[in-house]
Structure 1
Amino acid sequence: MKIFAKECYLVLFFMTILSFKRISLFTAVITFYLTKAYAIEFNTDLLDVNDKNNIDFSRFSQQGYIMPGRYNLSVLLNNNRISNYSYLINFFEEDGSEQTKACITREIVEKFGLKNEALNKVSFQAEDSCVDFSGLPGVEIKPEMAENAINVSIPQIWLEYSYSSWLPPSRWDEGIAGVLVDYNINASLINSYRSGNSERLGYNGTAGINAGPWRLRADYRGNYNLFLSADDKRVTQHDFDWSRIYAYRALADWQSTLMLGENYTDSDIFDSWQFTGLSLKDDERMLPPKMRGYAPQVSGIAETNARVKVTQQGRILYDSTVPAGPFTIDSLDGSTRGRLDVEVIEQDGRTKKFRVDAAYVPYLTRPGRLRYKLSLGKPRVAEHKLEGSMFLSGEASWGINNEWSLYGGGITTKDFNTLSIGVAKDLKRFGSLSVDITQSVATVPENGTKKGKSWRVSYSKRFDEMNTDITFAGYRFSERDFMTMKQYLNARSSGTITRREKELYTTSVNKHISDWNMVLGLQYSHQTYWDSQASRYYNFSLNQYFDFFELKNISASINASRTQYRNRDLDSVYLSLSMPFGGSTLRYNSSLSGDIYEQSVGLSGRVKERLGSYSINAGYRDGNGIKPTSKFSGYYSRQFPATDFSANMSWEEKGYTSLGLALAGGVTATGEGVALHSGGSGGGTRLMVGTEGISGVPVDSGRAVTNAMGIAVVTSVNSYYRNTTTVDVTNMPDDIEVRQAVTESVLTEGAIGFQRFKAVKGRRLFATIRHKDGEDVPFGASVRNRADIEIGIVGEEGLTWLSGINPSEKIIARWGKNERCEISLPEQIGVDVQVFVCSPEKQ
């Protein structure tokens, strides 16, 4: 045989002749690797007379020729896979042509993310018919049979916006139907030297049902407290309630989310209140990453291993335990806006409360884009009770051009109306500025009609040459009779108007000093009222990394804050020094809170492949008119496949002893199976993976492991992002193989995605497969298990490498159009080359 194709390489691999008495096997595997599809010329003199007459080799002399038929191929769009699954592609010969053509169906084209303009240029006849791309210039379809794939090249001008971590809506997955329950449990046992003992249990979470694009959710929360005083008096408190019940779905074509049920208003212009009804708002998470906003951060200082809760309108946004020292919560949802209530519950029972205004850049909108939020319903008070008349609330922002945006909104109900209008301007090198004015008219029982205005100015600027961010978000002045919707609702129920806001300043400055490896931060807010005392909040932070002689990567940080709220000042200063110590970190901490001074030394680090962490601290406490007392604390957390676990303890001399435990995770059930899992909160997005009933397969860097049903749930999934999930092959048991260890998915908000990994478990060995009459099973026959996973391909004279086989198992060999036979494996399988008999399959 002669091959005249340029750059064509022939690789021959000959297996050693194996002699077992009468068995002589000689197997040759020939692989052709063609870098380009060139014509091939065959020397037919090597064939017998019958083959010469019956085989037409002229077709193979055509460049890039592919035999007509149906092929299972991966589909690539501009060299990127459009799905984890293969598609059945039909290759056919057009009339009068010796070239074959690939049939791309409508199902495949809908995954490409073509613009509407491009869709109008291609023709669809039926769902299973071939799509005609002749009206779309620049499209090229190129089979890559060596890669078992077909690549469709389409100019970017015809495609929706795409990004390395984001795909257009045509590629999003709504997931499968299922039920979920997420939980967050905190338990503590406190033995106080002065006031007795207490047991506390707090829990919250979300239960939900998914059906198609709809997500039904119910938030729950509860507490159990047992107090036992020094004189043995026992007091028990327990409460539980469903705090919120709602349903929502994504509207991809509108880049919006529709929500029904109990909700709270989410506004960039007005304040927030709870209501029951419906809301429709654009969801910027559906936009490419570069077109999205940011998530606010909450910073503070914990004096002990403290529980930190962040809420908004009674809705829990964050609830977890943090170790002693400064903390920063940066995992809040990117759509969070407005005022956040922060509560720090120390281990000895002390609590600190403060508020954070989630500052954001002025309301600039991209040119030609309309952003909007609509809400319709009735205001809601505690325990699902409705109060007042129906209301309609709406706001919108329109990008006029690259420099100007117009925004505004309004609220209307029976006795309350408000209207706001504003404009935002991109000042180029001088930053961005927005100005708006709001007018309210409210009729309050026993207070008559109140009319007032409120003005707001916001400014933001990044000084690249100074590596500095400044957000002045900003200044707001409200007249005495100006009222917000929330103030109106409170006045309607109580009959009085209190804490009427007058002026508000909010400023944030962050400065990076690269030469010194230093970051400076300053936050300031000041709120005055017409009828009560002003409140202020200051926070200063400094962080620096440096080397000191042979000591490398030393970190120093200072954090100072002052909160003035309701005629009470709370000052805190925190100093920390840390340095690497082996595989851990050695730390010195010193803090002053009010008139209480503390200092400690500690050791912290990561354990178990970074899935766990620990910290140990010892120090003393002084001030507040008491003698210096020693103290000790420890904290440990670990992410298990079934739950997130943390434990902490604290001891203070002649003060208290406290033990705490926390669990966070969930259970997800679908038609594919059920699994406990770590992570998951608020009924959020998750991916269920199946491994054909095989347990012990580590997924997502070992953070999830398949259970006895072969099911695991991955919760580190971002909605509307391209998420890659992998099998941890380095830690997989030796008797398990996974044929495709990587999968990709783009899930909508709240979806339960599902991906199946083709896994097999069992022995690996060489075997000869023959029919009952001693004839070899045909060369190239596919050997598959009962899950229809290929576990081997028959070679010359029946010699086959099999993987994932088990005693007494039944496997199938298939070849030709529909020929097959069944192999019943013996109860005991040896280590030598086995001979398996393939019998007609039993129906």
Structure 2
Amino acid sequence: MSVIALAVTGGLQLSPACADDWFNPAFLSGNGQDVADLSRFESGAGQAPGVYRVDVWLNDEFVTTQNVRFDEDEHSSAPTTAGTSVSRDAPDAVNSATGYVSDDTGLVPCLTLKWLKRLGVNTGDNEALKALPDDDDRCLDFRSLFPGASSHFDFSTQRLDLTFPQAVLQNSVKGYIPPEEWDEGINAALMNYTLTGDRGRDSDSYYLNLSGGLNLGAWRLRHNGAWSYSDYKNGEHTERWQNISTYVQRTVIPLKSELVLGDSSSDNAVFDSLGFRGMRLYTADPMYPDSQQGYAPTVRGLASGRSTVTVRQNGYVIYKNIVQAGAFEITDLNPTSSSGDLDVTVEGESGYVQHYTVPYSTVPLLQRDGRTKYDLVGGRYRSGRQDKNAPVFVQGTLAHGFAGGYTLYGGTQQAGRYRSVAAGIGQNLGSWGAVSADLTSAWSRLADDSRHQGQSLRFLYNKSLNRMGTNFQLLGYRYSTKGFYTLDEVTWDAMEGYQYAWRDDGNGGGYHYEPVSYHNLRRSKKGRIQMNISQRLGDLGSLYLSGSQQTYWNSTGRDEWYQAGFSSAWHGISYNLSYAVSRSTGLAGDNRLLSLNISVPFGHFLGHDMAEHEALNSMYATAQSSRDQDGVTRIQTGVSGTLLQEHNLSYSVMQGHSSTTGSSGSANVALRGGYGSASAGYSYSRYDHRINWDVSGGVVAHADGVTFGQALGDTNVLIKAPGARDVHVENGNGVKTDWRGYTVLPYATMYRRNRVALDVNTLDMHTDLEDNVQNVVPTQGAIVRAEYGTHTGVRALLTLTYKGRPVPFGAMVTEKASGATGIVSESGLVYLTGISKSSEINVVWGNSENENCSAAYKFNDDDENQVVTQSNIICKKSS
């Protein structure tokens, strides 16, 4: 306080002729020789030139976080570091001589030609910039080149605001990131694994899915395979390994395209999606800022009890897991292709089996005026089925946008026994939604060598009526003449046939080989309608209706699948009433299921809806009742919830009763951890007792070692924070660094900025981060590295003396091993973090040879384990 008092009463000298302030550093001590050279602080609010890591904003829109070089602003009216006096002009003052707007730092960012282009500034119309090469790294006077441009550096928040007149900015869509910022990632090997097991009285089954590959520069090698094994107590067993896909992929940035070599699938915008082994080159929509995401497949269903859900696409099992009784939704599918109907089987432990098809197709993406989208495919047809042949085919599609919201599109398919040509038109109808219509003509030769020719007319519609709360996610109708066939149908080896699978009858009778699907080419497809509609009813809840219907020539039967439901909540209690029906031609009977689900939160009704009661607030009481087409009624009740700080441990305990099979029950627990995920469960019924479990995760081998983590997505982030172990990642459920400070954050968004932040509250007492936030922009399939500067070591409060007196106030201290720095207080104290257990410090308080010293130190084990270690160190003249 005495120093402050002296500064106020005697250290402030004001001149009546000038509003400059000057502080005499001698007043910080009784002897001016005990004070370091503080001339660098004379400028008051001015800052030193150098490189700062800042958030860059352009016209109030965030651009990036990056190291930016700042130079002294020669035109600034703000103070500089040259020892000038402090002017009390307001921030962002206008220099009367130049007209430039400046801030109080006295600094201006160094913007090169590359920086200007990155910001979207139109440099091509500026004569002074046309002659400069693209790699010119000189700092440009952007304020004189573009009158009206300015910068403001908020040093306290490390934010740089750049302002450019809109006239000099190229037209760009909000959120667009230029290709120069795209990160193709590091070289690495990666693998995903999922292993599930199910053991019961009559059978044991196991399923292993492995997917992984290599990243080398822009190239991605991927392989996806699955092994399944079933052992039945009647002596039968099945075992199979499926090579789902193997391919090489890379981005072609100049074409804004993706190249795929190997096993993949064609697009479904014009023709039905087909699996193939060959080559595909196509426009990559995510590279464009105006990309429109297609319809994502969501599988809804009703489970009469604890059931196994299996989803197949193009003959491959792409999803298999166990769900509890009631309505369920599967929204995290990873289909093998961008379309292709999803074949869904729901098999209950009681033997009740549902089988239906979820259509998966979209309205062809409308293109902006002048934009062209293409897709080229050549290779051999691939289905994963033994009863289909594999012809060589080529396919090409093209779409182009025109003024008025119109898009013309078309394409062709060519194979040895098949030819087709398609043409269509789509339009954005504004408030009326989007619509498309196309006509396809096909010439086919089937398995019996019969020749056919026909046409197919398709109409698709997509619309969200936000004001009315109505969403027509997809409405479509397709009419085909009697002689129309698709390339997929032509590949059948026989005109008709069944596909079989083992099924449990649910009554203790064991497993039987039963048909699960049927095809008959003599009954060609006629009309098909599909829909997915939802309607909000204000505070009352919401209604939804999904379904499809397929009719055939030469047959009175039809395939149908419908599901309707109503969802709502009352005083915290949520409930859902659903009804589903499905039937397929060629298969006996149909499936109908009526279900009611209720969920009651414990914390809300017990008055503990507070943060300190997280475990109770996340616990729910659930009840479910269903009735099927045979009049069988099932009731199930239980509790479920989550535990742990990140809610990454989930549990459920259920007890049920069936009107035919009696009592049943189950208990399940699942954990998402830093090294993967695991779950286990037990269930029982009158005829069976089962144990199920699964483990999943991902492994990445990179230049710095091997890192285990949760299951990887298509695009991922490798977090590198050496020495920062067990640090949690924000918004990463259960994701935390390993013992070396590494982890993988899965499911990054490609070609978009991803904010990756470490939770500083989980750092241990010996670790500090320079910056806990990084931003990355990965390309498709990349593993990008987010690297954090860490200081791991001792936190120390040192008292430094030199020649029997405290080291001068303001002296700079640097620890040799770690590079940690600090400034000495008026009593010779300095605080350093992340320093070594034993090393050397250097102290400098002036420019002369006699104004520095150094000292070696060594802490013992007890000092290292303290939160802050205190020590007295004698500094000696540096040699």
Q: Which interval holds the TM-score relative to the shorter structure? A: 0.7 to 0.9
Matched, 1:357 2:359: yes
Q: Which residue identity is paired with 2:709?
A: H
C-alpha distance in 2, partners of 1:570/1:841? 88
Structure 1 residues 146, 557: closer, same or farther in 2, change over 3 A? closer
**Correspondence list, 1:618-637, <5 A:** 618-623=655-660, 628-637=661-670
Give 1:347 shift.
4.6
Q: Which residue identity is paired with 1:475?
A: Y
Give 1:590 shift.
0.4
Give 1:206 shift.
1.0
Question: Could you say which residue in structure 2 is the equivalent of 1:470?
Answer: 472
Structure 1 residues 252, 332: closer, same or farther in 2, change over 3 A? farther
2:575 to 556, 565, 574: 556
What TM-score, normalized by structure 2, do the two folds share? 0.79
**Correspondence list, 1:220-231, <5 A:** 220-229=225-234
Give 1:461 shift.
4.0
Give 1:574 shift.
1.0
Give 1:428 shift.
4.5
Whether the aligned pair in 1 keeps the contact of 2:193 and 2:209 (CA below 8 Å) is yes
Question: Could you say which residue in structure 2 is the equivalent of 1:87?
Answer: 68
Question: Could you say which residue in structure 2 is the equivalent of 1:3?
Answer: none
Q: Which residue identity is paired with 2:587?
A: N
Give 1:810 shift.
6.2
Whether the aligned pair in 2 keeps the contact of 1:812 and 1:823 (CA below 8 Å) is no
Question: Could you say which residue in structure 2 is the equivalent of 1:746?
Answer: 777
Question: Could you say which residue in structure 1 is the equivalent of 2:220?
Answer: 215
Per-residue CA deviation, residues 794-823 of structure 1 (Å, 9 max, x unaligned), is 445652112234533667778999999674
Question: Could you say which residue in structure 1 is the equivalent of 2:257?
Answer: 256
Matched, 1:130 2:109: no
Whether the aligned pair in 2 keeps the contact of 1:189 and 1:660 (CA below 8 Å) is yes
Give 1:769 shift.
4.2
2:698 to 666, 689, 694: 666
**Correspondence list, 1:665-704, <5 A:** 665-681=697-713, 684-701=714-731, 703-704=734-735
Question: Could you say which residue in structure 2 is the equivalent of 1:588?
Answer: 623
Structure 1 residues 491, 114: closer, same or farther in 2, change over 3 A? farther
Question: Could you say which residue in structure 2 is the equivalent of 1:530?
Answer: 553
Q: Which residue identity is paired with 2:581?
A: R
Structure 1 residues 607, 100: closer, same or farther in 2, change over 3 A? closer
Give 1:526 shift.
1.0
Structure 1 residues 309, 792: closer, same or farther in 2, change over 3 A? farther
Q: Which residue identity is paired with 1:634?
A: A
Q: Which residue identity is paired with 1:41?
A: D
Structure 1 stretch 531-540 or stretch 771-780: which is displaced more?
Answer: 771-780
What's the secondary structure of 1:526's corresponding residue?
strand
Give 1:451 shift.
1.5
Matched, 1:328 2:329: yes
Per-residue CA deviation, residues 233-262 of structure 1 (Å, 9 max, x unaligned), is 5x5543324321112123344443221111
C-alpha distance in 1, partners of 2:73/2:746? 44
Matched, 1:835 2:872: yes
Q: Which residue identity is paired with 1:705?
A: K
C-alpha distance in 2, partners of 1:374/1:391? 11
C-alpha distance in 1, partners of 2:354/2:811? 72
C-alpha distance in 2, partners of 1:248/1:520? 42
**Correspondence list, 1:162-181, <5 A:** 163=174, 167-181=177-191
Matched, 1:489 2:468: no
Question: Could you say which residue in structure 1 is the equivalent of 2:345?
Answer: 343
Whether the aligned pair in 1 keeps the contact of 2:315 and 2:385 (CA below 8 Å) is no
Question: Could you say which residue in structure 2 is the equivalent of 1:184?
Answer: 194
Give 1:292 shift.
3.4
Matched, 1:604 2:637: no
Whether the aligned pair in 2 keeps the contact of 1:323 and 1:635 (CA below 8 Å) is no
Give 1:558 shift.
1.0
Matched, 1:161 2:172: yes
Give 1:429 shift.
4.8
What's the secondary structure of 1:487's corresponding residue?
helix
Structure 1 stretch 360-369 or stretch 371-380: which is displaced more?
Answer: 360-369
C-alpha distance in 1, partners of 2:808/2:699? 47
What's the secondary structure of 1:466's corresponding residue?
coil
Whether the aligned pair in 1 keeps the contact of 2:251 and 2:259 (CA below 8 Å) is yes
Percent identity, please.
24
Question: Could you say which residue in structure 2 is the equivalent of 1:35?
Answer: none
Q: Which residue identity is paired with 1:377?
A: G
Question: Could you say which residue in structure 1 is the equivalent of 2:599?
Answer: 578
1:105 to 109, 112, 117: 112
Whether the aligned pair in 1 keeps the contact of 2:560 and 2:582 (CA below 8 Å) is yes
Matched, 1:141 2:151: yes
Q: Which residue identity is paired with 2:670?
A: S
Give 1:832 shift.
7.0
Whether the aligned pair in 2 keeps the contact of 1:91 and 1:103 (CA below 8 Å) is no
C-alpha distance in 1, partners of 2:287/2:352? 42
C-alpha distance in 1, partners of 2:385/2:2? 75
Matched, 1:826 2:828: no
Give 1:387 shift.
6.7
C-alpha distance in 2, partners of 1:529/1:368? 40
Matched, 1:395 2:418: no
Q: Which residue identity is paired with 1:129?
A: R
Whether the aligned pair in 1 keeps the contact of 2:623 and 2:635 (CA below 8 Å) is yes
Question: Could you say which residue in structure 2 is the equivalent of 1:200?
Answer: 205
Whether the aligned pair in 2 keeps the contact of 1:674 and 1:709 (CA below 8 Å) is no
Give 1:427 shift.
4.1
CA RMSD in angstroms, aligned pairs only: 4.2
Give 1:519 shift.
0.8
Structure 1 alignment gaps of length 5 or more: 1-11, 17-25, 33-38, 547-551
C-alpha distance in 2, partners of 1:14/1:46? 10
What's the secondary structure of 1:486's corresponding residue?
helix
Q: Which residue identity is paired with 2:643?
A: V
Give 1:778 shift.
8.6
Q: Which residue identity is paired with 2:767?
A: I
Structure 1 residues 593, 711: closer, same or farther in 2, change over 3 A? same
Per-residue CA deviation, residues 178-231 of structure 1 (Å, 9 max, x unaligned), is 11101121111112xxxx3x22210113111111122111101112333334xx
Matched, 1:644 2:644: no
Whether the aligned pair in 2 keeps the contact of 1:441 and 1:452 (CA below 8 Å) is yes
Per-residue CA deviation, residues 425-445 of structure 1 (Å, 9 max, x unaligned), is 344454443221101123457
What TM-score, normalized by structure 1, do the two folds share? 0.82
Q: Which residue identity is paired with 2:542?
A: V
Structure 1 stretch 612-621 or stretch 247-256: which is displaced more?
Answer: 247-256
C-alpha distance in 2, partners of 1:469/1:633? 37
Question: Could you say which residue in structure 2 is the equivalent of 1:539?
Answer: 563
Structure 1 residues 209, 385: closer, same or farther in 2, change over 3 A? farther
Whether the aligned pair in 2 keeps the contact of 1:359 and 1:506 (CA below 8 Å) is no
Give 1:464 shift.
4.4
Structure 1 residues 694, 463: closer, same or farther in 2, change over 3 A? closer
C-alpha distance in 2, partners of 1:202/1:27? 77
C-alpha distance in 2, partners of 1:769/1:348? 78
Whether the aligned pair in 1 keeps the contact of 2:252 and 2:258 (CA below 8 Å) is yes
Whether the aligned pair in 2 keeps the contact of 1:73 and 1:87 (CA below 8 Å) is yes
Structure 1 residues 372, 643: closer, same or farther in 2, change over 3 A? same
